[in-house]
Chain A
Amino acid sequence: MNGLKQFNWSGWLSFGFLLCFWEIGARAAPKLQLYIPPFSQVLAALGQLAVSGPMAAHFMITVGRFLEGYLLSAALGVSLGIVLGYFRSFHSLLAMLIEFLRPMPSVAIIPVAILMLGIGDSMIVAVTVYATVWPILINCIDGVRHIESILIDTGRTFGLKRRQILWQIILPGASPYIVTGLRVGLSIALILVTTAEMIAGSKGLGFFILDEERSMNSAAMYAGILLVAALGYLLNRLFLYVEAKTMKWRHGMMARASA
């Protein structure tokens, strides 16, 4: 209907039913409330904590660490990926190292990071960068490899300089892959920030959630989880929005290139 997505009545109804079931079930079983408080209490806790209390500060700290880690890994992953994708000799040099490090779960790096950097911001950002750089790097290498060599050869024939080839052929050509890597990296970065905050932190949403759990403050804990989920959802939305814009630019580039 006019290209609009039909409203999913049954889906929202079942979601509402689930929330009602949660609310009524928790109220009916007071013993359970220690673990699963009624949904209304979680919302009340969220409202209260949002206005007063330290949750807003924790939220800002988490967002700051996330942005720092994510943007750093994007810059590092894309630039390194282009070098490794374009110069095969570099790639064959590092291939063995990449193969060895990649199967190790990235969170295993957290104790090393604690040892080297202590338990501050820099540790959390470093761990996030280590984990987030992989998907971006691997996708970027793939993307550069998949560019038709005829494009680069044509660029060379027309006397384009290296820098022009990079900006006008390689980056636009590899951008669909790079975008995929950046999107995978988005959720990984959020996972690593919250994990590092849980394992060794005194600030941030990850710490907040675990701390509330340890003090048996379950409504506040669920409120924190709600907030992290909302953050993840919003970041994903923002990414899709930026991607749409970027892809428009890319189509423009492609049209210009083919014109």
Chain B
Amino acid sequence: MGPKRLTGILFFCGLLVVWEIVARAELINPLIVPAPSRILGIFWGLVASGQIPMQIVFSMKRALAGYFLAAAVFIPLGIVMGLYRPAHRLLEVIIEMLRPVPPPVIIPVAMLIFGLGDEMKIFVIFFSCAWPILLNTIDGVRNLDWVLLNTARTFGLSRADTIRQIVLPAASPQIMTGMRVSLPIMLILVVISEMIGSTDGIGYFILDSQRRFKVAQMYAGMLSLALLGYALNQLFDLLHRRLLSWHWGMMRRVE
């Protein structure tokens, strides 16, 4: 840990101390901004009682279902669109028409069609994660080294083998970029959709706490969301390294 990082941590702790003193001295309305010690206390209580973990499990089930569904549909579609120009031209206009729709605006549509259940949130996340995954996959396949493809053809690899052994590994770094960009989008959309139409999940929990004026509980929910976002990022980086090492291994084997 460098001295720069240390000053950052010290400054951060200093801010917390100032916040604590200001809140205790009631310089700001404690009903709106409670002391950090109180928020942490409530947070631990809610974690220990299983309330926050339960809400997070509700949210993550929906979030991951939509996320992986988007990956399962749009990575194959992106590969097809990247490899076959006519397929790309066929769908290009539809994609360009749908892309400027801000994802939260899809929530009312999803509520109308699917009601307030899990399907609604899964659909919303599926829709919003689609674009970064699809466009990055297309780019990744397009930037493929054509020598690789021609070599595969020369050696008589079947189409399925070519995709599995050459296209997919070569495009995987950019596919992972798409998945990476989609990760915070997934988290944002699950929170929004739970705020607008849900009776559980961490997004609902935070908004509901605010509406009942359980302010410390609201901040505790936000804290858990920040920790969740951080943990998801770390987990993704870990998986990314694993998958990339597989990727480099494949490349070496191809060479």
Q: Which residues of A contact B (CB under 8 A)?
A: 8, 10-12, 14-15, 18, 35-36, 88-89, 92-97, 100-101, 103-112, 114-116, 187, 190-191, 194-195, 198-199, 206, 209-210, 212-213, 216, 218, 221-222, 224-225, 228-230, 232-233, 236
Bound CA–CA A104/B150 (angstroms): 46
Chain A proximity of B122: nearest CB distance (Å)? 17
User: Size class of B's contact patch?
Assistant: 35 or more
B225/A232 in contact, CB under 8 A: no
B156: interface (CB < 8 Å): no
Contacts of A224 in B (CB 8 A): 105
B222/A108 in contact, CB under 8 A: yes
Contacts of A105 in B (CB 8 A): 184, 187-188, 191, 225, 229
Bound CA–CA A14/B203 (angstroms): 38
A112/B92 in contact, CB under 8 A: no
Q: Given contacts A95-B5, A103-B226, could you give 19 more A-B pairs where the C-beta distance is less than 8 Å?
A: A8-B89, A11-B89, A11-B93, A15-B94, A89-B7, A96-B8, A100-B12, A104-B229, A105-B187, A105-B191, A109-B222, A111-B209, A191-B102, A198-B107, A198-B108, A199-B196, A206-B105, A225-B105, A229-B102
Bound CA–CA A221/B215 (angstroms): 34
B113: interface (CB < 8 Å): yes
A114/B210 in contact, CB under 8 A: yes
B91: interface (CB < 8 Å): yes
Q: Which residues of B contact A (CB under 8 A)?
A: 4-5, 7-9, 11-12, 15, 32, 86, 89-94, 97-98, 100-109, 111-113, 184, 187-188, 191-192, 195-196, 203, 206-207, 209-210, 215, 218-219, 221-222, 225-226, 229-230, 232-233
